[in-house]
Every structure is written in structure tokens, then in C-alpha cells.
Amino acid sequence: IPTIGVEFSDYQRILKHFGRKITSSSFSTYKFRPSLSKKQHIDFFDPISSEDVQAVLVSCKNLVGLKFWWYDGPFVFANYLMPHLKEFETDVNHLTDFNKIDAFFKNHTQLTVLCTRFHNNRQAHYAVDLSFLSHLPNLKILVLTLDGSNVRGTASLSHLNHLRKFSVGGSYDKETDLQILESLGSVESLVTLELTMPDVSHVLRGIERFKNLRKLRIFGDGVVDILILAQLRSNCTDLHVSCKMLAEPNSLVDVVRNLKKLKKIELHCQVALSETLCEDLAKVCSSQD
């Protein structure tokens, strides 16, 4: 059976009979004691204890992908080696020792996908140290949720020479945002950039540094000056802007004219497009078909 998607209440019996064939599993349960021989992806959609997490790591030696949606326990992963692991997603709480994080990723340099949510629980002294990223030269997708944390070690982002997609949200600090984007500016492999910030205009200045960017997705609560996006390189094909208000909407024509390869544009914001502006946009779009 190449693919099967069924929900069972008694997963133990299923694993007993089909365990050797399973390559991808999603579990919505607190108790988990599988022993699967094949390389596999496992997703946990419910909260899980640190004891059960460790049981997973002991039982499943051939994990390729591991995802925890609701895990706020200690970072126990540093004590385990998963030589086949390519994709990893988890939460990191404010009590986590970043030396353990560094040790874990130092032994898992083969990772290609990493999604991490850092929770600081409103601890003013808490700081996220991104230095561990220097151990992950093979990363292709990186998603960081910073939850208002202070950040250091942003220079390590410049070492991700194979990164294709980067998504960041929740820093709430303009200086941090700028440091992150400046470090990424030298990563020529980057083609997709997603920014979720209260105010994104300050980081969009200098957006032209991303030479091969094809998809830009912006999510913010403030005002976005569309004129800044005219600095985008002409090979951008997909532009998405969600914000409270769009400033200088008449500049939209110049943006579209500059993006000669643009295939899709989405605007989710308060903006009044005049009939003249719509006509001009239609002319520019038709001339670039």
C-alpha cells in the first residue's frame, strides 16, 4: 500500500501488523510506544510529555522527519542521535540551555528543513542564540518564530548557502529584524522570503539585496509603502502583502512594471484603487504577458 490515511483509536494493533510498511505517521495521542523499522516521518498534533518524547527517540532509530506541534518541555533531543533526520519541527521554551541546542544540531548537520518556535514567556532577560545555525549548511527551509525574544548570533544566517525559503515572525524589534535581513542578504540561493512583523517597512528598505528572490510574502499590522517594493529584483514572480494600510497605492503601477516576470500579486489591506489606476495596471499587465 503506497499511501494510507486512516484514523484509529487502537494504533498499537495497527503498528503491530503494519509497522514494517509505515513510512509516514501522524499521532494525536499522549501515549506512544512504537517501534518502526523503516525510515519515517512522524507528526504529533497533541501535547506530549518529555517522557513520551524520549520514548519516541529511543524506539525510532530511522526517523527522517519529526514534528511536534505542542511541546513545551525541556530540550531532551541533545542526548539522541538521529543520523537520517532531514526535517525537524519543535517548540523551545525559555528554560532551554542553548548549549544543548548547539550540541544537538552539531550532530545533525544533514538537516534540510527546520521549523522552531521560541517561547520566552515574557522573560525580559531571555535571548535566542541563532549561532547553532552555523552547523546546518544543508538547510533549504528555515522557519523561525521568535515570540518577542531578544536575538543574537544572526551572523550565522549568512552561512546557509543552500537556503531556499526563509520565514520569520514575532521579533517585535526593528534592530533585530534589520540584522536578520542583512545577514540573509548574502545568501544567493534564497528564492522565498516570508516576513511576519508589526511594521515591515523598515526591513523592506534594501530589499534589492536579494538577487534571486522570486516569492515575497509580507504580513504586518502597520502601513506598507508599496513604493519600496519597486526596489525588488525583476525576477520576482509572486508578491503577497497583508497589512493594515497600503501607502502610495499609485506606485503600484511602477512596482508591477519593474517586476517583468510577476505572475501573481495579492493585496490584503485597506486601499482605494481608482479607476485610472486599475486601467494603468491592466495596461502594464497586458504588455508583460
Write b or e for each residue in 59-86: b if 16 or more Cβ atoms lie within 10 A of its Cβ, otherwise e: ebeebbbbbbeebbbebebbebebeebb
- pLDDT tens track for 176-192: 888 899 999 899 999 99
Q: Which three cell numbers stand for residue 153?
A: 548570533
Q: What mean pLDDT do residues 211-226 have? A: 88
Instruction: Report the share of the chain in percent with pLDDT over 70.
Output: 85
Q: Which one, of 250, 194, 203, lies nearest residue 222 by Cα?
A: 203
Q: Which three cell numbers stand for residue 146?
A: 521568535
Query: Residue 98's pLDDT band (boundaries 50, 70, 90)?
Result: very high
For residues 33-61, average pLDDT:
74
- State the cell numbers at 124: 525580559
Other Cβ atoms closer than 10 A to 44: 24
Q: What is the pTM of this model?
A: 0.84
* For range 223-241, the mean pLDDT: 86
Would you state the pLDDT for residue 286?
78
Q: What is the pLDDT of residue 216?
A: 94
Q: What residue ranges define each of the domains in the chain, with the CATH number in brackets? A: 11-287 (3.80.10.10)
Task: Please give the pLDDT value at position 273.
Answer: 76
The answer to whether residue 193 scores a pLDDT higher than 50 is yes
Summarize the confidence of residues 95-99 as an average pLDDT: 89
Is the dihedral angle over the CA atoms 94, 96, 97, 98 positive or is it negative? negative
> What is the grid cell recorded at 79?
542526548
Under DSSP, the state recorded for 220 is -
Model confidence at 32, pLDDT cuts 50, 70, 90, reads very low
Is the separation of the CB atoms in 281 and 251 below 8 Å?
A: no
pLDDT digits over 244-285, tens only?
888 777 888 888 888 888 888 888 887 777 888 888 888 888
Helix (H) or strand (E) holding 192: strand 192-196
Neighbours of 140 (CB within 10 A): 16
d(CA 80, CA 98): 16
101: buried, middle or exposed (CB in 10 Å: 19+, 13-18, 0-12)? buried
Residue 289: pLDDT over 70: no
Identify the sign of the CA torsion 131, 157, 207, 219.
negative
More confident position, 47 or 75: 75
pLDDT level of residue 37 (50, 70, 90 thresholds)? low
